Amino acid sequence: MAFDSESGLDKVGWQLLRALQEDARLSFSELGRRVGLSSPAIAERVRRMEDLGIVSGYRATIEPTRLGFPMTAYISLKTAGDHYARVSQMARSLSEIIECHHITGEESFLIKVLVSSTAHLEAVIAQLRQFGHTSTSIVLSSPVKSKMVLSGPSVRVEP
């Protein structure tokens, strides 16, 4: 399999990655039909992408509203550096927190939460305030919810 040195994937690799992102439950034979390769060749390419960490898992996409979580919010948390481990532990333990990113800038963390109501959101914020100052943004709509990675970078950076 010929991997492009910049992106790590050749044209067929990108086609395969797109098909996997659209439906990770496709069989190797169906994936092969879509990209023009045999099932064993597809199995080898998928295994190689997994080994390289390009494909790191297979997940179901859920609809939070159907599970009683109609509200998504982002909480910025500004905290002292010595709270990193404790904030990270809390983020792993609270089921409402679905993403937690340690970031640069004024804030220390950007936390994505799914909650059932503003009262529920307020309770989550109260848990986080023990570590520092919070600022919250409630999501009104998501014009780009989860975008697939379809190719290498569009913007080139000169060395």
At 60-89, the pLDDT tens digits run 889 999 999 999 999 999 998 889 999 999
> What residues contact residue 4 under an 8 Å CB cut-off, 6+ apart?
10, 13, 152
Class of domain 64-138: alpha beta
pLDDT at 7: 58
Report pLDDT digits (tens) over 42-52: 999 999 999 99
Unique residue bearing structure tokens 């395969």:
16
Q: Taking all residues of the chain, what is their mean pLDDT, rounded to a whole number?
A: 91
- Interatomic CA distance for residues 104 and 94, integer angstroms: 23
The predicted pLDDT at position 1 comes to 45
pLDDT, tens digit, for every residue of 118-142?
999 999 999 999 999 999 999 999 9
Query: 97 Cβ partners below 8 Å, 6+ apart?
Result: 90, 91, 111, 112, 113, 124
Buried b (16+ CB within 10 A) or exposed e, 11-38: ebbbbbbebbeeeeebebeebbeebebe
**Yes or no: domain 1-61 corresponds to CATH 3.30.1700.10:** no
Tell me how far apart the alpha carbons of residues 53 and 40 are, in angstroms, rounded to a whole number: 20
Within 8 A by CB and 6+ apart from 54, the residues are 8, 9, 17
Q: Is the pLDDT of residue 23 over 80?
A: yes
CB 35 within 8 A of CB 22: no
What is the token pair recorded at 60?
A: 């179901």
Residue ranges of domains in the chain: 1-61, 64-138
Mean pLDDT value across residues 90-104: 97
Give me 27's structure tokens: 């069989």
Give the pLDDT score at 100: 98
List, for residues 9-22, the tens digit of each pLDDT value.
899 999 999 999 99
